[in-house]
Structure 1
Amino acid sequence: MRTISVEEFGQAMNQKPLAVVDIRPFDDYQAWHIEGPRIESQHLDGTSILRDAKTLQALDSETPWVVVCALGETAKAVGAVMDREGYDVTVLEGGMAAWNRYHELHAVAEEPTFSLFQIQRRGKGCLSYLLASNGEAMLFDPSQFVDVYQRILDQNGWRLKAVADTHVHADHITGGFFLSERYHVPFWRGQNSPGVSLLQDGQEFKVGAVTVKAIASPGHTPDSFSFLIAGRYLLTGDALFVSGVGRPDLGGHAKEWGEDLHRSLQQLQSLAPETVILPAHYAHWSEINDHGIVAGTLGDLQAQNPLLHEPLESFVNHVEASASAMTPPNYEPIVAFNVSQKGPLDPAILRSWEIGPNRCAAPA
């Protein structure tokens, strides 16, 4: 029986088909499991396997299987049974908790004066961004796993100049506070609270040779901002996704915030159609394009997303319907922490809050 780290697994799933058997309770599996274009996923109850090895007959005995549980421990026991029964088996180290922490770096743009990277958190569907130019760097929407960003900065010799969030996130803990404290740099956001520098509409930042412009984009939340980089790359946060728009209902003001979102999307659509849209989340692996990033030009999204052409009333009616959808897991304590660091600072607790899907989009 072998084991595989989430880093090794993440790289492998980009290159070849993988068969995964998830042994968590079925409700947990149904709500959230490993997905991808080359992933064959199957559920079998781990307790049933440990009780009776004949349960494994539901699996193809000729297929190499990667066994996944919540934390990696039960998978070891199940993997031992599978190994004894003659299966080719590998156990994912740390289980879904480790998969939830896995980040993957992808280049969006490599220009003569700057580089822009998308950092994908595959298990959560969260996207953060790093802009680097002339030895300086700025991070956008970082996760709480700040060592990931420190490694990237250190490996490239980039000096972090600032951190910014597009909005107060409801599905994951921001890394803004932690990075601000570690690097002694400002943490910019549209919502004012201790430890935060307040963004202004139209405010500009200089990162090396590149200009970043903050654009107020309320709707998903009242504090939402987009960031236009070099006039060509737009970080839209949760205002506009590749396959939908942001949910305006999480604060309990779906109609009012929906009207704000409509106005923000109309404003953003005044940009050039070749503007590259880079959201803060994706809902499904199919949103990752052939270049390995979640992105689309504004013109393409306008052609594909009918919500961008809806009149105000019908737009609000559509996005209000998302109010009946499931909310992100633990979103109330996550929002409270992200607003002003109210809550425990125990990393284990903060990580446990994030287990599960993001649920931040209203589909087109």
Structure 2
Amino acid sequence: MEVSNGLHAMTAEELARFVLDQQELFILDVRNEEDYRNWRIEGERIKSINLPYFTLLEGVEPALARIPADRPVLVVCAKEGSSKFVAERLVEAGRSPVYYLEGGMKSWSEHLAPVKIGELADGGALYQFVRLGKGCLSYMIVSGEEAAIVDTARMTDVYERFAAELGVKIKHTIDTHLHADHLSGGRKLADRSGAAYWLPLKDATEVIFHYDSLEEGREIVVGDTAIRIHPIHSPGHTIGSTSLLVDERYLLSGDILFVESIGRPDLAGLAEDWVGDLRETLYERYRGLPQDLIVLPAHFGQVSELGEGGKVMARLSDLYRSNPGLNIADEEAFRREVTENLPPQPNAYQAIRQANMGKQTPDEDEQREMEIGPNRCAVHDQ
């Protein structure tokens, strides 16, 4: 952390450690009230308040009165400038040390924290990349000297660096469905690394670029130790949603099943058409799978879903006991639950879908703006 006269710059990576390690931190968020209500930094031992920047221009006394003396203080804004200004005023007023978030909420939205999930057969390994500021989860499946990336975020350099550190070559990138909450980096990473890019056929009817069809029965092999990825068609969130059975131990469920909720069927405007598929996938197809599988979703909605070290995972049998979306016996009640009173839809989700089809090519700044905010892919996310 950069230090200057009691003023510290905290990076998104350093902030991630506070969240993952469940360390105490107090956040003064100086964005406007609507942005704070919509999306903010959360953690088991993180407390935050919102005092908009304009209310502190004539003095930071309102903030000083509410900042505790017994824990670190981080000032947060959208891009960095306002938080640095307020942090400087707090230091001048005698509060020290004070941190500001380097790059603001934009940098927080883009940070990926790799977490090792477990070992695979013959020395392979499975890693989860936790995007804490967005609630997105992606995966690297490693076997021998090869790797496959699942549900790639647009920050592809993170996967490239991690693969280089492990000494493996990226051979496959896979999207479990056509995403509506974030821009996929799968095709970009495939182009950069010479990998095959896989996308479910039924989600690709409007896609305008080349892809390999992710279909049930088509096995994907990673490395000479032959870690096998078996696609399982599991529609409901999208018509082509496809789960991945990895090494007969892990179920990468995409946006169909989460730790505390289930996928919403409405982001393509076809909720009434897809709700039956969603119920069949969750209540019949998944019921027929081995119940000791470890479920690894593509998103999380609440910090309570973060387990030890930041891992987001659960045994399938446990989810059938505890997940509210898997315990709605009446079919009509289920239909109402997943089509009515849903959380707001993700920011710019229609434009994101168009970009993921190849029909729009937003520049870097536009991509950041499109992704700002939570993912909101689950029925019960608030």
Which category describes the TM-score, using the shorter chain as reference length? over 0.9
* Amino acid aligned to 1:285: V
**Matching of residue 263 in structure 1 with residue 280 in structure 2:** yes
Q: 1:220 aligns with which of 232, 237, 246?
A: 237
1-side partners of 2:217 and 2:174: how far apart?
A: 15
Residue equivalent to 1:177: 187
Residue equivalent to 1:302: 320
5 Å-filtered alignment, 1:102-181, equals 102-113=111-122, 114-181=124-191
Unmatched 5+ stretches in structure 1: none
Aligned residue for 2:311, secondary structure, equals coil
Assess if the C-alpha contact under 8 Å between 1:177 and 1:195 holds in 2.
Answer: no
Unmatched 5+ stretches in structure 2: 1-6
Residue equivalent to 1:313: 332
Residue equivalent to 2:246: 229
CA shift for structure 1 position 292: 2.6
Residue equivalent to 1:346: 363
The number of residue pairs the alignment matches comes to 362
Deviates more, 1:22-31 or 1:286-295: 286-295
* Amino acid aligned to 2:34: D
Deviates more, 1:282-291 or 1:189-198: 189-198
CA shift for structure 1 position 53: 2.8
Assess if the C-alpha contact under 8 Å between 2:235 and 2:281 holds in 1.
Answer: yes
Assess if the C-alpha contact under 8 Å between 2:20 and 2:310 holds in 1.
Answer: no
* Amino acid aligned to 1:300: D
**What is the TM-score when the length of structure 2 is the normalising length?**
0.91
Specify whether residues 12 and 308 from structure 1 end up closer, same or farther in structure 2 by C-alpha distance, changes over 3 A only.
closer
* Amino acid aligned to 2:257: L
Residue equivalent to 1:18: 25
Task: Describe the superposition over 1:173-203 as per-residue Cα deviations: whole angstroms up to 9, x where unpaired.
Answer: 0001111110121110112321322221222
Specify whether residues 292 and 61 from structure 1 end up closer, same or farther in structure 2 by C-alpha distance, changes over 3 A only.
closer
Specify whether residues 272 and 112 from structure 1 end up closer, same or farther in structure 2 by C-alpha distance, changes over 3 A only.
closer
Q: 2:221 aligns with which of 183, 200, 206?
A: 206
CA shift for structure 1 position 291: 4.8
Deviates more, 1:65-74 or 1:45-54: 45-54
1-side partners of 2:324 and 2:104: how far apart?
A: 39
Aligned residue for 2:360, secondary structure, equals coil
CA shift for structure 1 position 313: 3.0
Deviates more, 1:7-16 or 1:78-87: 7-16
2-side partners of 1:18 and 1:128: how far apart?
A: 27
Assess if the C-alpha contact under 8 Å between 1:14 and 1:38 holds in 2.
Answer: no
Task: Describe the superposition over 1:212-258 as per-residue Cα deviations: whole angstroms up to 9, x where unpaired.
Answer: 10011111011110000011100000111111110001122212201
CA shift for structure 1 position 158: 0.7
CA shift for structure 1 position 345: 3.8
Residue equivalent to 2:107: 98
